[in-house]
Structure 1
Amino acid sequence: MTTEPEGGDPRVGLTVTHRRYVPYAHAHYGGDLVDGAYVLGMFGDVATEVCIRDGGDEGLFASYDDVQFRAPVRAGDVLEATATVVRAGRRSRTVAFEARVVCRARPDKGPSAAEVLSEPIVVVTATGTVVLPHAGV
């Protein structure tokens, strides 16, 4: 989906969202906790789609400016990762990322029990820079 601020750069506001189930094979710590790199990998995937939609190229993820781990991610979660372009230069884009848990396993109710959360849990936020090698050329 794309939004365009009135009179603004049409690339700003471009938003991409992916959802993914977190398999139990990715739990690395007690309590079925998943490492933060799992979410960063999702951010890389949504950033790649942003670049494809914006410039017709997979682009390059240049850097993170900020990463905040706000709540735990557990095996059995369904995560939603969103990337939104907040600044567009000639070849670079600043992207805001947010990952939310939208469904969570409920082992206390049964071995395969789970629920859709009434309010998603924001687990990771970040900002980063991507580069489109062929944009603006």
Structure 2
Amino acid sequence: MPTKNGKDVGTRIVHRRYVPYSDAHYAGDLVDGAYSLKLFGDVATEMCIVTDGDEGLFASYSDVQFKEPVRAGDVLEIVCELVKVGTRSRGLELSVVVVARGNPTPERPGAAAMLEPPLVATTGTGTVVVPS
């Protein structure tokens, strides 16, 4: 079933985000897992706006897996794909992928490199709801 704006299963939203060092929470410049969940909320909000003209609400996660660390200095790609359309609910597949990572040295404190291949850091599936 298509949504109000004619979007349906397969619609994808992609955000990119730099992880600032001020968000490091643990040794080794690690950020906490909640950081990925916040990004999932942001990309899911845009999905709801694109497909339904409303910010919607995140109702639940049915699965979240932390596969690789996210560190300060990373550049992340956050992907949301619409996989199911109900009357008011939308099923989403989500991922956080590290596409670049900082690699500072005393000589080059801003050194960084694109990762090839990128690292899948976090995956999830969830449900959002929108007004009828």
Same fold (TM over 0.5): yes
Gaps of 5+ in 1: none
Q: Distance in 2 between matches of 1:34 and 1:59?
A: 27
Do structure 1's residue 53 and structure 2's residue 50 form an aligned pair?
yes
* Match for residue 118 of structure 1 among 116, 119, 123: 116
Aligned to 1:96: 93
User: Alpha-carbon deviation of 1:110?
Assistant: 2.6
- Matched position secondary structure for 1:117: strand
Deviation digits for residues 45-82 of structure 1 (CA, Å, limit 9, x no counterpart): 10000000111000010000000000000000001100
Paired letter, 1:111: P
- Matched position secondary structure for 1:34: coil
Query: Following superposition, which runs of at least 4 residues in structure 1 exceed 6 angstroms of deviation?
Result: none
Q: Distance in 1 between matches of 2:113 and 2:41?
A: 27
Gaps of 5+ in 2: none
- Matched position secondary structure for 1:94: strand
- Matched position secondary structure for 2:9: coil
**Percent identical across equivalent pairs?**
58
Do structure 1's residue 106 and structure 2's residue 121 form an aligned pair?
no
Contact 2:74 2:98 in 1 (8 A): yes
Aligned to 1:71: 68
- Matched position secondary structure for 1:120: strand
Aligned to 2:12: 15
User: Alpha-carbon deviation of 1:118?
Assistant: 1.7
